[in-house]
Amino acid sequence: MADADAERASDQEARRVRAATALAGAWKDADDPRLSRLTRLAARLFDAPRAALMLIEPERIRLAGRIGHAADSISRDAPLADLVLRCSRSALHADVSGAAFLACAPLRDPRGLVVGVLAVEDDRPRAKVEAGLLETLGELADLAIEELIRGADQARAAAERLLDGERLALALGAARLGEFEWHVKTDRLRISERMARISGIPAGEMPAQEGKAVWPYVHPEDREITRDDLRAQLRETGRYEVEYRRAQGVDGHEQWSRGCGVMVLDDEGQPDLLIGVVQDITDQREADERRDNLVAELDHRIKNLLAVVQSVAAQSARKSSSLDSFLKTFAARLKSMSSAHDLISAARWRGATLGRIAAAELGGLAPNQTRWDGPELFLTPRAAAALSLALHELAVNAVKYGSLSTETGRVEIVWRRSPDGGFSLEWLETGGPLTSEPTTRGFGATLVEDVVGRELGGEAKIDYRRSGVTAMIHAAASALADAPEPEPAPAEPERIVETIGGGDDNFRAGAIAGLKVLIVEDSLLLAMELEAGLEDSGVEVVGCAAELGEALSMLELGFDAAVLDADLNGQSVAPVAEVLRKEGRPFVFATGYADKAAPMGFDAPIVRKPYNVHQIAKALASVTGRG
C-alpha cells in the first residue's frame, strides 16, 4: 500500500514539474512587466521590500517578476524551495531562509496542480497582518497564473506562426512562387524578395500608380491582352489567374510567369487590398513545348512508318508466289524493321552505330560463318533503318541460296569512310554454291539498289559473281550523325525466341497440340490472331484477358501455360507472373519492349513483337517440355 502511495505521489510530482516547466519556459524574460506589475502590487499590499513568482522547475526554483531579488533562481535544496514545493494554501511564515516574514499563495493551473507560489518577503518580523491580506494575495496569485497561462499560449502561438512562416517560405520557394500586396486606397505596392527574384520588380514598397507600376515588367506583346484578361476576371469573380511572358532580360531568353490574385473588399464592398502570387513557369512551358514537339514528331514518324509498312507489304505480296511465302517474307522484313527501331530508340532516336546494325542482322545467323569490321560510324535514324533492311535482305538471300546455305560458306561486311565524308560498305560472300544473276529482279534487290541508295544519299549495286554475291553500298555524308555519349555494351540475350523468317523450319507446330493456354494481351487484334493461330496448332485457348484484374481472376482456370503481354494498358503484368511462378505453371512473355533480359527479373522465354504464331508455339513448346 505504501509503495502504491509513493508511486502516485511521484507521478503527481512529475506532472506538476512538467506543467510548471512548460509555463516557465514560455517566459523568456523573467522580469517581464506583465509579471512585475503583479508582484509589485503584492509587495505594496504587505509593505514589503521583496516579492516574486516562484516557479517550480526540475533543477531549481525560478523567480519571475522579481521585486527586490538579485538572483533569478534558488536551489531546490534551499529551505525556501522546500516551502514552495509543499505550499498548498495561502499562509504566513517566519524565519525562512533569512527572511523574518514570508507570505505566500499557491499558483494553481487549470488542472489544480500547484506550479509555484506568489511570495512576499520582509526582513522585519510581523506579529500579525491585517485581516483579508492573505485572501487578497491569493487573488493576486490567481491573476498571476492567468497571466502566466495567457503568456504561454501567446508564446506558443507566436512559435507556431513562426513555423507557419517558415513552412510558407519553403513552399513558396519550392514552387518558385513570389508574393505581393497592393493596398488600393493608399495605392502602395509591396513586393517580396521572392517575387523580385522572379519578376525583376524591385523588392520593397513603391507607388502602385493605380496598378500601372508592374506592366513594364510584362512582355510588350503580352501586356495589353494580359491586362484586359486580368481586369475582366476581377470584375466577374474578384480573383484572377493569367499566364504571360516577362520582359526579356539581357540574355534574350524567353521567360514565363503565372500570376494569381484575389481582391479583398472593405466593409462597404469597395476594393481595399489585392493580394497575389507570381510563379515562374518557364521550365514548365519549355517542357510543354518539348512534349508538343515530341508528339508532333511521333505522329510524323508513325505515319511514315505505316507508309513504309504498307509499301513493304505491297511489294512483298507482288513478288510472292503463295500466301505462305508472303507471310514468311513479310514477317521477316517487319522483324528487321523492329530490330532497327530498337537500335535507334536505344540511342533516343539519334541514330545507331553501323557495327550494331551489322551485329543485329548477322549475329544470330551463323556466328562462325559471319564477320564484320570497320570504324565506329553513327548513322542517322533514316539511314540506320534503310541499311538494316538492306543487310536483312542480303542475309536472307545468303541463308536461302548463298554462302550461308552451306556449312563452308562465309559472309564478310567491311566498311570504310570515303573521302567525301560518307562511307562505303562491301558485302562479300565466299565458299557457297555457284551463283548466277536471277532472271527476274525481286523486291529485295529493288530495296537494296533503289530504296537504300536513295535513303543513304548515294548508290548501291548487287553483283552476282559465280564465286558468290557481292554488294557495294555508298552513302553520303548526310547519312552520318554526331555520335552521342558512348553506349554501354549490350548484354547477351537470355532465352529470346527470335528467328529469321518467323521460326525454325525443323520445329513442328503440332508439338503443342492438346495444350491448354491462357492468353493475356491488351490488344484485341493481336489476341484474336494469336488465339486463331494456336487453335490451328491444336491448342485449346481457355481464355483471353486484356486487363490486369481480369487476368488475375482467370488464374483459377485450368491451363498448362500462359502467354503474357508484359504491359497491360500501362500496368505491369508482374503480379500475374509472380502467381504463376509460385504455382509452378510455365509462361511466356510477349513484349514490344527492346530489353534483352526477361522482364522484371522472371526466368521465362521472351518473344518480341512483332511476332508470328510460329514463334509463340516454339516458346510454349520449350516451357512445357515439348520443344
Residues 6+ apart with CB under 8 A from 436: 464, 466
Q: What whole-number distance in Å separates Cα of residue 56 and Cα of residue 18?
A: 9
Secondary structure class of 184 (helix, strand, coil): coil
Whether 470 and 461 have beta carbons less than 8 Å apart is answered as no
- For 182, the 3-state DSSP assignment is strand
Q: Where does residue 102 rank: exposed (0-12), middle (13-18), buried (19+ CB within 10 A)?
A: buried
Rounded Cα–Cα distance for residues 76 and 71 (Å): 14
Residues 27 and 149 placed together within one structural domain of the fold: yes
Alpha carbons 347 and 174: distance in angstroms, whole number:
33
475 and 340 both lie in a single domain:
yes
**What pLDDT is stored for residue 229 in this prediction?**
95
The model's confidence at residue 296, banded by pLDDT at 50, 70 and 90, is: low
Could you report the per-residue pLDDT of 402-439, keeping only the tens digit for each? Answer: 898 888 899 999 999 999 999 999 999 999 898 888 88
Q: For a pLDDT cut of 70, what percent of the chain falls above it? A: 82
Q: Domain total for the chain?
A: 4
Q: For residues 333 and 261, which has the higher predicted lDDT (pLDDT)?
A: 261
Reported as a pLDDT band with limits 50, 70 and 90, residue 78 is confident
Query: Domain containing 114: what range?
Result: 12-155
- 120 and 23 in one domain? yes
* Of 623, 364, 351, 617, residue with least CA distance to 492: 364
What is the number of H-type helices and E-type strands within the chain? Answer: 16, 26
Rounded distance, CA 19 to CA 412, Å?
A: 90
- 82, 69 contact by CB (below 8 A): no
Q: How far apart are CA 483 and CA 377, in angstroms?
A: 8
pLDDT at 207 (0 to 100): 93
Report the largest interatomic distance among the alpha carbons of the chain, rounded to a whole angstrom: 141
In a shared domain, residues 554 and 457: no
- Evaluate the CA torsion angle 152, 158, 161, 166 in order and state its sign: negative
Per the CB < 8 A criterion, the answer to whether 243 and 257 are in contact is yes
Cα 478 to Cα 354, 384, 458, distances in angstroms: 14, 12, 10
Residue 130, domain member (yes or no): yes
What values do phi and psi take at 322, rounded to 5? -150, 165
Backbone angles phi, psi at 563, to 5 degrees: -110, 120
Instruction: Give backbone dihedrals phi and psi of 315, rounded to 5 degrees, phi first.
Output: -65, -40
Does residue 525 sit in helix, strand or coil?
A: helix
* pLDDT the model gives residue 190: 93
Q: 300 in a domain, yes or no?
A: no
Q: What pLDDT digit, counting tens, does each position of 381-404 carry?
A: 878 878 887 888 888 788 888 898
What distance in Å separates the CA atoms of residue 113 and residue 106, rounded to the nearest whole number? 9
Answer for the pair 547, 523: CB distance below 8 angstroms, yes or no.
no
Which residues, in sequence order, are bridge partners of residue 363?
none
Most confident of 89-98, 107-116, 218-227, 320-329: 218-227
> In this structure, are strands 587-591 and 561-565 parallel, antiparallel, or unpaired?
parallel
Q: Which residue from 513, 485, 464 is spatially nearest to 617, judged by alpha carbons?
A: 513
Q: What's the pLDDT at 373?
A: 92
pLDDT of amino acid 618 = 87
Rounding to the nearest 10 degrees, give the CA dihedral for residues 524, 627, 596, 545.
Answer: 20
pLDDT on residue 228: 94
The larger pLDDT score, comparing residue 319 to residue 489, is at 319
**Which amino acid type is present at position 266?**
D
CATH number at residue 232: 3.30.450.20
Residues 143 and 185 both lie in one domain: no
Q: How far apart are CA 193 and CA 172, in angstroms?
A: 11
* pLDDT tens string 544-563: 998 888 999 999 999 999 99
Q: How far apart are CA 125 and CA 66, in angstroms?
A: 21
- 183 in the same domain as 120: no
Entry field: residues in the chain: 627
- Residue 211 CB: number of other CB atoms within 10 A? 15
396 part of a folded domain:
yes
pLDDT band at 312 (very low <50, low <70, confident <90, very high): low
Q: Are residues 194 and 263 in the same domain?
A: yes
Same domain, 463 and 594: no
Residue 368 has pLDDT above 50, yes or no: yes
Report residue 344's pLDDT band, with 50, 70 and 90 as the boundaries.
very low
In this structure, what CATH number is given to the domain that contains residue 346? 3.30.565.10
Separation between Cα atoms, residue 454 and residue 441, nearest integer Å = 18
Place of cell 532497327: 340
Residues of the chain with pLDDT > 90: what percent? 29
474 and 391 belong to one structural domain: yes
Predicted local confidence at residue 493, as pLDDT: 41
Q: Tell me phi and psi for residue 480, to 5 degrees.
A: -105, 150
Q: Report the run of H or E that residue 174 belongs to, with start and end.
A: helix 133-174
Label residue 68 left, alpha or beta by phi (over 0 means left) and psi (-120 to 50 means alpha): left
Same domain membership, residue 216 and residue 136: no
Specify the pLDDT at position 501: 35
Domain membership flag for residue 304: no
Indicate if 129 and 187 belong to the same structural domain: no
Contact 214, 189 (CB under 8 A): yes
Residue 293 lies in a domain: no
- Asked if the model's pLDDT at residue 231 lies above 80, the reply is yes
- One domain, residues 17 and 135: yes
User: Mean pLDDT of all residues in the chain?
Assistant: 81
In angstroms, rounded to a whole number, what is the distance separating the alpha carbons of residues 482 and 184? 59
Q: How many CB atoms lie within 10 A of CB 488?
A: 7
Q: Does residue 299 lie in a domain region?
A: no
Cell of 36: 512585475
Residue 152's pLDDT band (boundaries 50, 70, 90)? confident
The upper half-sphere exposure of residue 604, i.e. CA atoms within 13 Å in the direction of its Cβ, equals 29
CATH number at residue 142: 3.30.450.40
Does the residue 489 lie in any domain? no
What pLDDT is attached to residue 315?
56
Inside any domain, residue 289: no
CA-to-CA distance for 107 and 425, rounded, in angstroms?
99
